[in-house]
Amino acid sequence: MFLRRAVTIVFLLLLSTTLSNAFLFPILLKKRAIIVTKKKLCIKKIQQQKAAAAAALTIGGAASGFTLLQQRQQSILNDKYNIYQPEEGSLLGQTIVITGGSSGLGLESSKRLAVAGANIIVTARSDNKGSAAIQQIRAYLEKKNKATIPEQQRLDYKVLNMDDLQSMNQSFTDNKWDDVPIVDVLLNNAGVMAIPQRETTVDGYERQIQSNHLGHFLLTSLLSDKLSKRARIINVSSSANQFAFTGLKFNYLWKAESGYGPWRSYGQSKLANIYFTTELQRRIDAIPTLEWSAATLHPGVVPTNLGRYSGNNDDLEAIPSTVLDNDSDKENTIQTFLGSLANTINQDFKSIEQGASTQVWLASGAEFQDIGGKFYDRCKQQQLRPFALNKEDGKRLWNESEDLVGRKFDLPSLGTSKDNEIVDMVLDEEDSSNNRTSTTTEDSI
Ligand SMILES: NC(=O)c1ccc[n+]([C@@H]2O[C@H](COP(=O)([O-])OP(=O)(O)OC[C@H]3O[C@@H](n4cnc5c(N)ncnc54)[C@H](OP(=O)(O)O)[C@@H]3O)[C@@H](O)[C@H]2O)c1
């Protein structure tokens, strides 16, 4: 009896479980499917929300990035050193000689310094280039509302090729510079960059070192007795001097006979610009009556015609630089927009107008700052690296340059060899006292 009841209960229990499973399972399945769908919807929604948030963030980021860029662009535009323009009339009566005035930074500097009233003498490699440059400077002055250029303001050119030392000397012995009695500023700007294959000049030197340094060394020397009492000599170097981070290599520098590298030679020549400046200043400082200042600079990375050799572009090489310098063509182009964007992101990328600022500022007197022997970028003094500060290299560069151009660079007011002996003595004394000081300092450490 008991056993039968127990069996019945178990049977009923099994039956109810089966029945309930049979009815409940589909319901549960449906419920589960609903939950899964809901979950999926939820995930999709979350994903959509995430995507929307990411898009919002991207748009927001871009917008605030754009605002930041705009703010930065505005502050660049408000900076008077961005495109430094000396005041109109502030350089009246001063004479400025600018080498390589037929193109790029030299031409732009000539225009801006002319607006300030200076007499401008540009040097160019031919009459055509020289007169084209003067035409462009005049047109610029007229555009700047200087309808009548004062008669006493001289805008002129001299033909000069740095790659031919003999012809440079000749232009002085032929009295071609006699009509320039005094020079207040010498802006040594002409240059070439990264010539792909080694080239030598008629004088037998590697072309970059001659165009960029030796020619200017000779010109400065030839003009030295015309330089006024407070003359400024501005040598355009480049941050590319850092390619020569192991210092001047005198067994390579002048002829680059073995191991020629386009950038190697450019770097060496731009480091030579710095050493020429600091050594010239050292010699100036040894003569108390002389108040000249020599300074050097990096203009920035500027889209001038300087790259026409390094781009391996034969067509460009054949085009005269004055033709490439067509400002109006460049205006309103996407290039201008990209240029300004690049400048906003990295201030070393500059337009030609911006690139000329530091040399215009230095040439115009640098607002009475003491610029002697210093290196500038964006109108601010920059520290030179140790490899650019070796006095012995400076002296050696000077002496070897004198030998190579075949002319002793006597600073004026000295004139006689006796006086030069005195300067040599002063410099030697200065050197030995410096050596003593450094030995004493080392001893005391
Ligand atoms: N642009 C940059 O990014 C940049 C950066 C750092 C430093 N720099 C320096 O800035 C200076 C000016 O260059 P730029 O950018 O204005 O280049 P650019 O437009 O090519 O102008 C160079 C000027 O130098 C003249 N020149 C070249 N070799 C000469 C020679 N043997 N004798 C006489 N004149 C010669 C050229 O005359 P032709 O028209 O006859 O060729 C031209 O007028 C150079 O010293 C360069 O090293 C430029």
Pairing of strands 375-377, 380-382: antiparallel
Which residue has the least CA distance to atom 30 on ligand 1?
A: 162
Distance of alpha carbon 221 from alpha carbon 403, whole angstroms:
13
Q: At what angle do helices 215-223 and 165-173 cross, to 10 degrees?
A: 10
Q: What is the pLDDT of residue 343?
A: 79
Q: Which residue has the higher pLDDT, 175 or 51?
A: 175
Asked if pLDDT for residue 410 goes beyond 70, the answer is: yes
CB-CB contact of 133 with 102 (8 Å) = yes
Backbone angles phi, psi at 20, to 5 degrees: -65, -40
Asked if pLDDT for residue 322 goes beyond 70, the answer is: no
Annotate the chain with three-state secondary structure.
Answer: CHHHHHHHHHHHHHHHHHHHHHHHHHHHHHHHHHHHHHHHHHHHHHHHHHHHHHHHHHHHHHHHHHHHHHHHHHHHHHCCCCCCCCCCCCCCCCEEEECCCCCHHHHHHHHHHHHCCCEEEEEECCHHHHHHHHHHHHHHHHHCCCCCCCCCCCEEEEECCCCCHHHHHHHHHCCCCCCCCCEEEEEECCCCCCCCCCCECCCCCEHHHHHHHHHHHHHHHHHHHHEEEEEEEEEECCHHHHHHCCCCCHHHHCCCCCCCCHHHHHHHHHHHHHHHHHHHHHHHHCCCCCCCEEEEEECCECCCCHHHCCCCCHHHHHCCHHHHCCHHHHCCCHHHHHHHHHHHHCCCECCHHHHCHHHHHHHCCHHHCCCCCCEEECCEEECCCHHHCCHHHHHHHHHHHHHHHCCCCCCCCCCCHHHHHHHHHHHHHHHHHHHHHHHHHHHHC
Which tens digits make up the pLDDT trace of 412-439? 764 444 555 666 666 676 666 665 544 4
Which residue has the least CA distance to atom 39 on ligand 1?
A: 321
Mutation pick for ligand 1 pocket among 103, 108, 235, 297 (CB with most ligand atoms within 8 Å): 103
Which tens digits make up the pLDDT trace of 27-58? 434 555 554 456 566 567 767 777 776 676 67
Question: Rounded to the nearest whole angstrom, what is the distance from the C-alpha of residue 191 to the centroid of ligand 1?
Answer: 4
Q: What is the pLDDT of residue 284?
A: 97
CB-CB contact of 169 with 222 (8 Å) = yes
**9-13, 107-111, 226-230: which has the minimum mean pLDDT?**
9-13
Distance of alpha carbon 296 from alpha carbon 362, whole angstroms:
9
pLDDT > 70 in the chain, percent: 74
Question: Rounded to the nearest whole angstrom, what is the distance from the C-alpha of residue 35 to the centroid of ligand 1?
Answer: 75
Q: At what angle do helices 391-405 and 262-285 cross, to 10 degrees?
A: 100
Catalytic residue among 266, 275, 309, 376: 266
Query: What distance lies between CA 272 and its chain's CA centroid?
Result: 16
Distance of alpha carbon 399 from alpha carbon 380, whole angstroms:
30
Mutation pick for ligand 1 pocket among 98, 105, 123, 310 (CB with most ligand atoms within 8 Å): 105
AA identity, residue 295: A
Distance of alpha carbon 146 from alpha carbon 409, whole angstroms:
40
Query: Average pLDDT, whole number, for the chain?
Result: 83
Mutation pick for ligand 1 pocket among 193, 323, 351 (CB with most ligand atoms within 8 Å): 193
SS3 187: strand
Residue 81 is among the residues annotated as catalytic for this protein? no
Which residue has the least CA distance to atom 25 on ligand 1?
A: 100
Compute the C-alpha angle 402/404/407, nearest 5°.
45
Q: What is the pLDDT of residue 324?
A: 38
DSSP for 355-377, please give it. Answer: HTHHHHHHHTTGGG---TT-EEE
Q: Positive or negative, the Cα torsion across 322, 303, 300, 262?
A: negative
Q: What is the pLDDT of residue 270?
A: 98
Backbone angles phi, psi at 196, to 5 degrees: -55, -50
Q: Which residue has the higher pLDDT, 197 or 59?
A: 197
pLDDT > 90 in the chain, percent: 62
Q: What is the pLDDT of residue 294?
A: 98
Mean pLDDT (whole number) for 104-116 = 97
Q: What is the pLDDT of residue 45?
A: 73
Which tens digits make up the pLDDT trace of 250-288? 999 999 999 999 999 999 999 999 999 999 999 999 999
Which tens digits make up the pLDDT trace of 131-142? 999 999 999 999
Which tens digits make up the pLDDT trace of 177-186? 999 999 999 9
Question: pTM for this one?
Answer: 0.80
Which residues contact ligand 1 via a Cβ below 6 A?
Answer: 100, 102-106, 125, 129, 160-163, 189-193, 211-212, 236, 238, 298-299, 301-302, 304-306, 321
Which tens digits make up the pLDDT trace of 304-320? 999 988 764 443 333 33
Which tens digits make up the pLDDT trace of 204-219? 999 999 999 999 999 9
**Homologous superfamily of domain range 95-409:** NAD(P)-binding Rossmann-like Domain (3.40.50.720)
Asked if pLDDT for residue 14 goes beyond 70, the answer is: no
Mean pLDDT (whole number) for 376-399 = 98
Question: Rounded to the nearest whole angstrom, what is the distance from the C-alpha of residue 216 to the centroid of ligand 1?
Answer: 12
Q: What is the pLDDT of residue 52?
A: 72
Nearest atom, ligand 1, residue 164 CA? 31
Which tens digits make up the pLDDT trace of 143-155? 987 667 788 899 9
SS3 216: helix
Asked if pLDDT for residue 12 goes beyond 80, the answer is: no
Which residue has the least CA distance to atom 23 on ligand 1?
A: 100
